[in-house]
Amino acid sequence: MKKHKSDEELLEQIISNNSPHEAFKELIEKYQQPLYFHIRKILLDHDDTDDALQNTFIKAWQAIYDFKHQSKIYTWLYRIATNEALSILKKRNRFSFFSKDSQAEEWIARLESDPYFDGNEADLKLQKAILLLPEKQRIVFNMRYFDEMPYETISEILDTSVGALKASYHHAVKKIENFLQQPLNLDKIT
């Protein structure tokens, strides 16, 4: 497996015009997979995820020379990716004729019929519970629980206070726990 240079080395190589395209390509290789799965947990759709990921790297390339070092490149890329995913989600919801409940049911049906989903019944029930969370709670829960991001990093990415994130995560966990105690069905999380 290829060892990547540090983010700082790659940024320096880009800024100094010492093979900037090669360095940015390496940055893409380094973050493409984690960003894909981060976006996929928000959008759930492969094609939308690919679009958001491509837009993320385009915007990062366009703004890399203005990078201010106020955060890590990792955090900066996740913030761009999250904003791209949320932008697509807003467009999708704006043009949808269906209620949020029926959209959740559609995503659950897709999950159940997805040949690539290899989880057991408990995994399926957990994923259903996550899909039924409000958008912000779902994003915070996924970043904290699955990506194991510290609250401080999530705070930088989502531009929200740590206290608000902790509250969102706590509410999400409680809703998921309540859902998991119910019989397996499509009931909305209460």
Task: Please tell us whether the domain made up of 98-190 is placed in CATH 3.40.50.300.
Answer: no
How confident is the model at residue 136, as a pLDDT?
Answer: 93
Would you report the helix, strand and coil content of the chain in percent, each value rounded to 5? Answer: 75, 0, 25
Token pair, residue 142, equals 């996924």
User: Cα(57)–Cα(24) distance, rounded to whole angstroms?
Assistant: 9
Residue 15, both tokens: 């800024």
What is the average pLDDT across 45-74?
Answer: 93
Predicted confidence (pLDDT) at residue 140 exceeds the cutoff of 70: yes
Is the Cβ–Cβ distance between 27 and 73 less than 8 Å?
yes
CATH of 1-95, one of 1.10.540.10, 3.90.180.10, 1.10.1740.10, 2.40.50.140: 1.10.1740.10
**For residue 116, what is the DSSP state?**
T
Range(s) of the chain covered by CATH 1.10.10.10: 98-190
Question: How confident is the model at residue 45, as a pLDDT?
Answer: 83
Say which range, 43-52, 95-104, 152-161, has the weakest mean pLDDT: 95-104
pLDDT of residue 122: 73
Residue 44 confidence (pLDDT): 83
Q: Where do the CATH 1.10.1740.10 domains begin and end in the chain?
A: 1-95
> What is the overall mean pLDDT for the chain?
86
Look at residue 184 in the predicted model and tell me its pLDDT.
Answer: 54
Contact 90, 43 (CB under 8 A): no
**Residue 188 in this model has a pLDDT that exceeds 60:** no
Pair 42, 139: CB distance under 8 Å: yes
Who has greater pLDDT, 64 or 69? 64
Q: How far is CA 109 from CA 64, 65, 181, in A?
A: 40, 44, 21
Interatomic CA distance for residues 52 and 63, integer angstroms: 16
pTM, full prediction = 0.81
Angle between helices 46-63 and 20-43 (to 10 degrees): 140
Higher model confidence: residue 160 or residue 119? 160
